[in-house]
Amino acid sequence: MEINLAGIRQEYTKSGLKESELPDNPLLLFNRWLQEAIDAKVNEPTAVVVGTVSPEGQPSTRTVLLKDLHNGKFIFYTNYESRKGRHLANNPHVSLSFIWHQLERQVHIEGIAAKVPAHESDEYFKNRPYKSRIGARISPQSQPIKSRMQLIRNFVKEAAQWIGKEVERPQQWGGYAVTPTRIEFWQGRPNRLHDRFLYTLQKDGTWKVTRLAP
């Protein structure tokens, strides 16, 4: 069965982005857009596609959830021994992409990832739902497993060991903080004449703003 993908089209008419209204700091605009996505009840507004590069130069993407934006850094949590964790250990350059379809908006970020301090990972971990904490302890993320049933058995066995106790964060699990060096804001517009503004970090810590062709 053939699907006519070429015939799927949509006009973007919901909003625009004026250069005169752009703040000097792109994080102010990101915060505003993220809040508007939350207020609009966009599905998974904090979902972000993380792009890494393997030692062989192979790009790889997956979706995680943004859990904090602190001191200008984008923070997410994961298994350090996962595929992305191994990639970042070899090459800390990373990309982040937020896509809010209902608002016809995208934000694309490039920067450097570094592990957050252990105490920050501990603090976040203890506030996660109980079952999520157990899951983080038993999942060999990105590794082959025999079956889902084996995963469930491991979960039940691990949960039994922590009854009445505070579940400890496993050492292979924690946060990454991404310091951005490049942030692009994309707003859909009619006739594919989209608004695209690129912020690039300068040596003096300021941001340069450039309009890009759609």
Active site residues: 192
Q: Report the Cα 130 to chain-centroid distance in Å.
A: 23
Which phi and psi (to 5°) does residue 140 adopt?
-85, 70
Characterize the bridge pairing of strands 93-100 and 59-65. unpaired
> Could you tell me how many residues make up the chain?
214
**Amino acid at residue number 10:** Q
Q: Which residues contact 184 (CB under 8 A, 6 or more apart)?
A: 107, 108, 109, 196, 197, 198, 199, 212
CA distances for 49 relative to 24, 42, 109, angstroms: 25, 16, 10
Tell me the two tokens of residue 158: 């691990």
Closest CA to 96 of 119, 73, 116: 73
Q: Which residues contact 161 (CB under 8 A, 6 or more apart)?
A: none
